Amino acid sequence: MLPQSIIPLAWRNLTENKRRLLASVAGTAFAVTLMFMENGFRHAMLDSMVNVIERLDGQIVIISRTLYTLAVPYSFPYRRIVQARDFPEVIGTSPVYVVTRSGYWRDLRDGSLDRICVVGIPLEDEVLNIDEVKQERDALGRPDTAMADALSRSASFGEFAAGQVSELSGHTIKLAGTFKLGINSQSNGNLIMSDRNLFRVFPQLAGKTEGDSAVTVGLVRVRPGTDLIRLRSDLQAAMPADVRVLTLEEFIAKERDFWDKVAPIGTVFYIGVVMGFIVGCVICYQVLFSDISDRIGEFATLKAMGYSNLRLFRVVVMQGVYLALLGYLAGLAVSLLLFRWVHEATGLPLDLSRNDPLAILGLSIIMCVLSGAYAARKLLSVDPAQLFA
Amino acid sequence: MTPLSSRLRTPPLALRNVAHGGRRSLAAISGVAFSLTMVLLQLGFLEAVKITAANNFEQVDFDIVLVSPRYEQFYAAGFFPLDRLTQARDVAAVVSAAPMYATFNLWRCPAYPVGQSESNRDVEPSPGPIERWLWGAHLPRPLQRRELFVMGIDLDKNLFHEPIRGRIEAAKDRLRLEHRVLLNEQSHPDFGWQIRDQVQDWELGNQAVTLVGGFPMLRGFAADSTVICSDLNFLSLCRFPPGQVSFGFLKVRDGLVATARDELKARLPADVQPFTRAEILARETDHWVNQTSTGQLFAFGVLVAMVVATVVVYQVLSNDVREHLPEYATLKAMGYSLSRLGRVVVEQSLIYMVISYVFAVILAIVVYRATEELAGIPMRLTAQNLLITLFLAIVVGFLSGFLSLSKLRGAQPAELF
């Protein structure tokens, strides 16, 4: 009556016919793939929306109270981040300028203009965790230079390379090099410039005095060991209501939340995951049900031998668990290939490890156990006499 | 061709196999049906991208549109000198030219319950899609400023089709007054259309405005809401370069669209480009489907759903053949030829596919409605997508039926025992 004695029976039921096993696992694996894919697309979309924010080298950010997504950058005056320097826990502050709407890059191949996202940073501070940008700091300091994202959409901009000279919103710009950041549904390419160069291209951001310059994100670096939540609240209390102070994690969560829950696209992928789950349930049910039907004679014999309903039920459910595990492994393998393929085609960051693999495993097991339990109802009514029917 | 009488004498085995399968058939059908629903759903997502891409231009009555060389898509149109419209009117074939100004601007989204002040909470609650749907416009939320798309038009050159045209005409006199606007009735609930009776202090671009009515327009992936106002109000509410315009919508004499387009191209300077209606619609769809990651992800979704459906159908049908193997073996022993048995199998798989397809379409209607409600994007079952799915279902049914035949070949009458 111990589970160990049941395990081989469920396992052997499942693996007895190799071709059939292959078909069953393939069915389950594809349902798993479907869930992985929809969830993966959702994560890729969300990850790509926070690609710039995640590279910010700081612990606390100051943003305009109006800002609800970085894709619609609303700014606040530079003097707010100067105020933050009064706090003893703060080591340094830096402004980050983001232009998403008015930056146009001229494609060297055909002279067409395409919108590009431009990030401006002060070169004196460590602002962005991008190695290539740190290495090329001197080159970025020269007038009218920028670095371009090698992962930008090549159909819009061609291949970026160091030394290329083109035009950003009417100003001649020379590329000092490339870096790898990635694009998202709101921008097809990225440029990074020094704040001074940015002000030459977009003088409206500079403001009348330094204190008026239009900052999108104010980055605050704090002493190690500082209580971030407390400092964030203290900073908020000290600032006027036109800005909001958040920890970097809160800022990332807020940005993801907008695209996940408010914008339609996140919901669409949720529905995809749910549909994948339902398809998976139906497939598993189909597999387990036809298996029970085939072995109804054997199950009847077991019952005649004195096996209880519960025990037979457990055999079928265990069979479902094995099916889920095999299907999950196969689905994982297929998804890995698929993710690489989609990544190459769209440039979106598809990373399986960030894609709740355990949650999908959980869903796969729930899916198979549920459908196993439902299919096993047939066993309750099985009659040993059926053997000879 | 077998004579009718002998065909009637042969029992319709395929149909009976399905009918007698009971729960087994039901399981097979539901497996196939859900896979087909998945295909329909993914096609619907892609279709939604196409619908929202084309929708804006479909609301406007025009033959040729003038846009800036920087034109990317409807929501990022750029601008060109207003004078080009005057010059366009000189082209003989052009009947009329109407300007449209368009840009994004901030909208003051009222708090709910109304009157609650701006939130000072550090972290706001973030309800999920189901909660949002259940609460609808009555979801408790703080005051916020969100971006919407503003369109300014010359009220004497109403360029919209019905029903938007009528709404503008009805409110025309009031729209001439300072800072009067129309708000999209199909806005995201956060924008406050549903609770408009309780809200007085509307703001657009940090200036007070008065709501004088609404108009129905789909909202897509790019903008959560839209506002229409007069050109004068537009210029005073939104920051826009002086003397510039976003779109020039031209009407031309019947049959002269191509000539007019070529003449415009030749006559006007390079700071503006003319497109015919068909050209701009194709360009817009191409942009959203092929050039944004949104469209590309949904295209991949369609592909993967189709592969999954194929695998599931094959799995279901081959299972079914295996289960009936003893019966087939008996028939074989009785003298049925392999091709005759094969026909039974293929017929049976087609019956499965057709029944599943009908279920899938019914299910899809439900899932489409749910998506529309939860995500707020237009989901339509188009004839084309229905046909694509039916075609897929039949081809896969045939293939799986044929592939299962190999099993029949090996069916030995002795297996019966």
A62 pLDDT higher than 90: yes
Residues of B whose CB is below 8 A from A244: 122
With an 8 Å Cβ cutoff, are B322 and A68 in contact? no
Task: Tell me the two tokens of residue B181.
Answer: 């606007």
Length of chain B: 417
B6 pLDDT higher than 60: no
With an 8 Å Cβ cutoff, are B308 and A33 in contact? yes
Mutate one of B144, B319, B321, B373 to test the A interface: name it (highest A CB count within 10 A): B319
**A24 and A79 co-located in one domain:** no
**A111 and A19 co-located in one domain:** no
Note whether residue A257 is domain-resident. no
ipTM given for this complex: 0.74
Q: What sections of B22-158 are H helices per DSSP?
A: 23-58, 83-89, 129-135
Q: Which residues contact residue B107 at a Cβ distance below 8 angstroms, ignoring those fewer than 6 apart?
A: B145, B146, B147, B148, B191, B202, B203, B204, B225, B227
**A112 and A23 co-located in one domain:** no
Residues of B whose CB is below 8 A from A289: 23-24, 27
B25 pLDDT higher than 90: no
Tens of pLDDT along A84-132? 888 999 999 999 999 988 888 998 888 888 889 999 999 988 899 999 9
Residues of B whose CB is below 8 A from A245: 122
Rounded to whole angstroms, the Cα distance separating A337 from A107 reads 32
With an 8 Å Cβ cutoff, are A275 and B38 in contact? yes
If you measure CA to CA, which chain A residue comes closest to B131? A261
**A34 and A133 co-located in one domain:** no
**A135 and A231 co-located in one domain:** yes
Higher pLDDT, B359 or A34: B359
* Total number of domains constituting chain A: 2
pLDDT value of residue A1: 46
**A287 and A377 co-located in one domain:** yes
Tens of pLDDT along B327-346? 777 888 888 888 888 888 88
Chain A contact for B332, CB < 8 A?
A: no
Chain B contact for A105, CB < 8 A?
A: no
Which of A127-131, B19-23, B51-55, B312-316 comes out lowest in average pLDDT?
B19-23
Q: Please say which residue of A197, A223, A247 terminates a domain.
A: A247
Q: Which residues contact residue B335 at a Cβ distance below 8 angstroms, ignoring those fewer than 6 apart?
A: none
Tens of pLDDT along B264-292? 999 999 899 999 999 999 999 998 888 77
Note whether residue A255 is domain-resident. no
Rounded to whole angstroms, the Cα distance separating B339 from B409 reads 10
Q: Count chain A–chain B contacts defined by CB atoms under 8 A.
A: 168
Q: What is the pTM of this model?
A: 0.79
Q: In whole angstroms, how far apart are CA A310 and each of A11, A304, A313, B129, B369? A: 17, 14, 5, 39, 41
Mutate one of B292, B303, B304 to test the A interface: name it (highest A CB count within 10 A): B304
Mutate one of B41, B221, B293 to test the A interface: name it (highest A CB count within 10 A): B293
pLDDT value of residue B268: 92
Rounded to whole angstroms, the Cα distance separating A135 from B372 reads 48
**A45 and A70 co-located in one domain:** no
What is the distance in angstroms between the Cα of B35 and the nearest Cα belonging to chain A? 6
Which of A109-118, A160-169, B131-140 comes out lowest in average pLDDT?
B131-140
With an 8 Å Cβ cutoff, are B293 and A347 in contact? yes
**A321 and A345 co-located in one domain:** yes
**A341 and A369 co-located in one domain:** yes
B79 pLDDT higher than 80: yes
A53 pLDDT higher than 80: yes
With an 8 Å Cβ cutoff, are A153 and B291 in contact? yes
With an 8 Å Cβ cutoff, are A271 and B301 in contact? no
Q: What sections of B230-337 are H helices per DSSP?
A: 231-237, 257-267, 277-286, 293-323, 325-333
Tell me what the mean pLDDT of segment B245-273 comes to: 91
Tens of pLDDT along A222-249? 999 889 999 999 999 998 888 999 999 9
The amino acid sitting at B233 is N
**A113 and A215 co-located in one domain:** yes
Name the B residues in 213-272 with CB < 8 Å from any A CB. Answer: 221, 224
Q: Please say which residue of A199, A216, A247 terminates a domain.
A: A247
Decide if B218 contacts B48 (C-beta within 8 A).
no
Nearest by CB to A272, which of B123, B301, B312?
Answer: B301
Backbone angles phi and psi of A57, in degrees to 5: -100, 80
Chain B contact for A169, CB < 8 A?
A: no
What is the distance in angstroms between the Cα of B7 and the nearest Cα belonging to chain A? 32
What is the distance in angstroms between the Cα of A124 and the nearest Cα belonging to chain B? 30
pLDDT value of residue B347: 85
Quick one: pLDDT band at residue A261, thresholds 50, 70, 90?
confident
Nearest by CB to A282, which of B31, B146, B322?
Answer: B31
Tell me what the mean pLDDT of segment A169-190 comes to: 89
Chain B contact for A267, CB < 8 A?
A: yes
B1 pLDDT higher than 50: no
Chain A contact for B380, CB < 8 A?
A: no
Chain B contact for A107, CB < 8 A?
A: no
Note whether residue A256 is domain-resident. no
pLDDT value of residue A252: 93
CA-CA-CA-CA torsion for A261, A262, A264, A265, nearest 10 degrees?
A: -50
Length of chain A: 389
B92 pLDDT higher than 50: yes
Residues of B whose CB is below 8 A from A283: 31, 312, 315
Tens of pLDDT along B165-214? 999 999 999 999 999 999 999 888 889 888 888 888 899 988 999 999 99
What's the Rg (C-alpha) of chain A? Answer: 29
Note whether residue A235 is domain-resident. yes
With an 8 Å Cβ cutoff, are B69 and A45 in contact? no
Tell me what the mean pLDDT of segment A354-374 comes to: 87
Helix (H, G, I), strand (E, B) or coil at A133: helix
If you measure CA to CA, which chain B residue comes closest to A378? B23
**A79 and A226 co-located in one domain:** yes
Which of A195-199, B5-9, B82-86, B155-159 comes out lowest in average pLDDT?
B5-9
Name the A residues in 1-60 with CB < 8 Å from any B CB. Answer: 20, 23-24, 26-27, 30-31, 33-34, 37-38, 41, 44-45, 48
Decide if B214 contacts B167 (C-beta within 8 A).
yes
What is the distance in angstroms between the Cα of A48 and the nearest Cα belonging to chain B? 10
With an 8 Å Cβ cutoff, are B374 and A65 in contact? no
Q: Mean pLDDT of all residues in chain A?
A: 86
With an 8 Å Cβ cutoff, are B308 and A31 in contact? yes
Task: Tell me which range, A269-273, A300-304, B383-387, is most confidently predicted by mean pLDDT.
Answer: B383-387
The amino acid sitting at B192 is G
Note whether residue A338 is domain-resident. yes
Mutate one of A36, A255, A279, A377 to test the B interface: name it (highest B CB count within 10 A): A279
If you measure CA to CA, which chain B residue comes closest to A23? B315
What is the distance in angstroms between the Cα of A138 and the nearest Cα belonging to chain B? 33
pLDDT value of residue A7: 57
pLDDT value of residue B84: 92
Decide if B194 contacts B140 (C-beta within 8 A).
no
With an 8 Å Cβ cutoff, are A338 and B304 in contact? yes
Quick one: pLDDT band at residue B368, thresholds 50, 70, 90?
very high
Structural domain for A314, as ranges: 3-49+263-388
**A342 and A212 co-located in one domain:** no
Higher pLDDT, B212 or B127: B212
What is the distance in angstroms between the Cα of B1 and the nearest Cα belonging to chain A? 37
Chain B contact for A352, CB < 8 A?
A: no
Decide if A239 contacts A80 (C-beta within 8 A).
yes
Quick one: pLDDT band at residue A389, thresholds 50, 70, 90?
very low
Chain A contact for B294, CB < 8 A?
A: yes
Nearest by CB to B323, which of A48, A290, A347?
Answer: A290
E-state strands within B156-197 = 180-184
Rounded to whole angstroms, the Cα distance separating A221 from A81 reads 11
Chain B contact for A297, CB < 8 A?
A: no
B10 pLDDT higher than 70: no
Note whether residue A350 is domain-resident. yes
